[in-house]
Structure formats: structure tokens, C-alpha cells
């Protein structure tokens, strides 16, 4: 089927799919609420389709971690967003540079950019299958994102038990890894390139994913960037999450093995998914509640 015929058989255009996944999400001006909603969407996709949407499960944990930066940005930018109504605006502008507010804003931007870039394809695949992505993928989408869903689709259709089941699982993981590489190279790298030197160090130390919070016992499934590359090397800037090579080495050698083990354990015992179920509910955490409280203390807030 050529691309013109594919488009004539599409359920929706890419722009319409973007509107579908945006439905029900808070606006980008509602920082922490939107982050929780994005995290919840990823968690729900994984919980409903754990055999195929491995990336979404990992993305839920990553988005929740980014939520710490999002909440911090929300608190620190609150006086700025009030504008002239805030009598201490001049003091805030001096202090905001010290707390790397713009770097925190970039991290929030990255969270939104990833969702905008890849969420539509998950929704399109669920409703229209691979053809819906094939017909809508344009530009950079036709590289790793499209290849990722092709591999996932092959894995889903292979299915079976024994050697066939193992091949299906291999294809699914390979496809989700392609989605991850697309996210890292096409979406996040420009965000990292805009961080200040201090922001790079902050982001590096904040890059820790603990997939094992739901496990009552057994080894932890944790991937920490500074632990992997060395704390001294990280604080000195010799190893940075903003460096594509440093970041991908950590992802391949630490993040993926930890997430694959966590996924294996959750498939064996569904009761271990309770932390993801909590994420899917979009309930505010302690830091979110503090941000709401702090916002109420600001004049005019």
C-alpha cells in the first residue's frame, strides 16, 4: 500500500491523534497537575498492555522523577507568573538564577515534549494498529519511532509459547528500546543542550530510577547515573547526563537491565504493580501538596 492509500484509510490524522491524547490533560500552565496526568497516562498504558508497552512503564517512573523538577519550577516561578502583582518580583529575579530556575523549566519542557512526540503513536496503535502509525509518521518519526512500533507489532503477532514466545518478547523489547533511543536522541538531546553547566550537574544527580518501590523483598531494581559513572566524576562534570554517550551507556548498562528485571517480576506477580497503580491514579505526592500550600502563601496566588 503506498502512502496516499494509507492516508485515505487512516482513522485520524496525526494532529487529530495529538488532540485525542491531550483530551483530559491539564494545560501546560498547570505544571505539576499536567506532569501527574502524563505520568498517569504512561502508567495506565503499561498496566493495560504490559506485554507490548514496555517503554510506557519505564516512562511513568521517569516522568514521576522529572516531577520533582516540575514542582520545584512551579514553586520558584510562582512569583514571576504573578508579574506586577508581586511586590518582591525584583528580589525573586535575582534569586531565581541561583536556583537554576531556567534549567528546571527546560526539564519541564522535556517532559511535555516527549509526551507530545510519542503519546499519539501509542493511542494510534491501540485503535488503528501499525497502519495508523505508518500513515501518520513523518520526518524523524519514520526512523526509530516507526521501526520501534514495527518491531513491537511483529512481536505481538508472533506470540506463542516456547521459542516463539521468547522471540516475540525479544522483538517487543527491541521495539521499545528503539522508542527509547528515539526519545533520547530526537527529543531530549536538544533539551539537555540548553542546560547550564550547573543544570547539567543537577540533572545528572537527579537521574535515579527506582523501579522496585513496590517489591517487599529481593534485590532493588535501581539505576542511578552518579552511582554508575561515579559521584566525583559527576560532580566535576566529567560525566554528565547531558552527554549523549554518557547517558546511553548508563541506559543500556544500568537502566534497561533494572527495568527488565522489574518488568519480569511484575509479570510473575501482578500484586507488585501497586506503585504503578498509584501513579495511574494521578494522586498528588507530598511534594505536590507542599507546592500547593506554598502557592497559597504568595500574595495574589
pLDDT in tens, 55-102: 999 999 999 999 988 877 666 655 555 554 444 444 445 444 544 678
pTM of the complete model:
0.85
Average pLDDT, integer, range 110-121: 96
**Mean pLDDT value of segment 175-195:** 96
Q: What's the total number of domains in the chain?
A: 1
3-state secondary structure of 223: strand
Q: Is residue 6 part of a domain?
A: no
Q: What pLDDT, on the 0 to 100 scale, is given for residue 31?
A: 87
* Residue 175 pLDDT > 50: yes
Residue 204 lies in a domain: yes
Q: Is 89 within the bounds of a domain?
A: yes
Residue 222 domain-assigned (yes or no) = yes
Q: Is residue 16 part of a domain?
A: no
SS3 208: strand
Q: What's the confidence (pLDDT) of residue 290?
A: 44
Is residue 3 a part of any domain in this protein? no
Is residue 210 classed as helix, strand or coil in its secondary structure? strand
* Residue 211 domain flag: yes
Higher pLDDT, 95 or 248: 248
Across 71-85, 157-171, 196-210, least confident range? 71-85
Find out whether 243 and 229 touch, Cβ atoms under 8 Å.
no
C-alpha cell belonging to residue 272: 507488585
Instruction: Name the residue with higher pLDDT: 156 or 29.
Output: 156
Whether residue 277 contacts residue 245, with contact meaning beta carbons closer than 8 Å, is answered with: no
Calculate helix-pair angle for 54-82, 101-128, nearest 10 degrees.
140
Domain encompassing residue 117: 26-297
Greater confidence (24 vs 287) lies with 24
Decide if 10 contacts 134 (C-beta within 8 A). no
Contact, 4 vs 29, CB < 8 A?
no
Residue % of the chain over a pLDDT of 70: 79
Tell me the pairing of strands 222-224 and 208-210: antiparallel
CA–CA separation, 265 and 259 (whole Å): 10
Give the CA distances from residue 179 to residues 42, 103, 118, 168, in Å, rounded to whole numbers and listed in that order: 14, 25, 8, 17
228 domain-assigned: yes
Chain-wide mean pLDDT for the chain? 85
Average pLDDT estimate for 208-229 = 86
| Euclidean distance between CA atoms 46 and 49, whole angstroms | 5
Q: Higher pLDDT residue, 253 or 104?
A: 253
Amino acid at each position: 500500500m503506498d502512502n496516499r492509500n494509507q492516508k485515505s484509510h487512516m482513522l485520524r490524522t496525526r494532529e487529530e491523534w495529538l488532540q485525542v491524547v491531550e483530551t483530559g490533560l491539564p494545560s501546560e500552565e498547570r505544571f505539576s497537575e499536567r506532569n501527574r496526568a502524563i505520568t498517569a497516562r504512561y502508567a495506565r498504558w503499561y498496566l493495560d498492555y504490559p506485554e507490548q508497552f514496555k517503554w510506557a512503564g519505564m516512562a511513568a517512573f521517569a516522568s514521576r522523577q522529572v516531577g520533582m523538577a516540575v514542582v520545584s519550577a512551579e514553586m520558584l516561578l510562582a512569583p514571576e507568573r504573578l508579574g506586577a502583582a508581586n511586590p518582591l518580583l525584583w528580589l525573586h529575579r535575582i534569586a531565581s538564577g541561583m536556583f537554576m530556575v531556567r534549567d528546571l523549566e527546560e526539564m519541564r519542557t522535556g517532559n511535555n515534549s516527549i509526551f507530545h512526540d510519542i503519546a499519539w503513536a501509542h493511542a494510534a496503535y491501540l485503535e488503528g494498529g501499525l497502519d495508523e502509525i505508518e500513515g501518520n509518521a513523518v520526518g524523524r518519526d519514520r526512523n526509530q519511532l516507526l521501526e520501534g512500533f514495527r518491531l513491537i507489532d511483529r512481536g505481538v503477532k508472533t506470540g506463542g509459547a516456547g521459542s516463539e514466545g521468547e522471540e516475540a518478547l525479544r522483538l517487543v523489547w527491541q521495539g521499545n528500546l528503539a522508542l527509547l533511543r528515539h526519545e533520547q536522541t530526537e527529543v531530549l538531546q536538544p533539551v539537555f543542550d540548553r542546560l547550564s553547566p550547573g543544570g547539567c550537574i543537577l540533572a545528572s544527580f537527579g537521574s535515579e530510577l527506582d523501579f522496585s518501590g513496590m517489591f517487599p523483598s529481593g534485590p532493588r531494581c535501581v539505576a542511578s547515573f552518579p552511582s554508575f559513572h561515579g559521584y566525583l566524576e559527576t560532580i566535576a562534570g566529567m560525566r554528565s547526563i547531558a552527554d549523549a554517550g554518557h547517558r546511553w551507556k548508563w541506559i543500556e548498562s544500568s537502566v534497561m537491565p533494572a527495568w527488565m528485571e522489574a518488568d519480569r517480576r511484575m509479570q510473575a506477580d501482578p500484586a507488585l504493580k501497586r506503585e504503578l497503580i498509584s501513579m495511574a491514579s494521578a494522586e498528588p505526592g507530598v511534594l505536590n501538596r507542599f507546592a500547593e500550600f506554598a502557592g497559597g502563601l504568595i500574595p495574589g496566588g
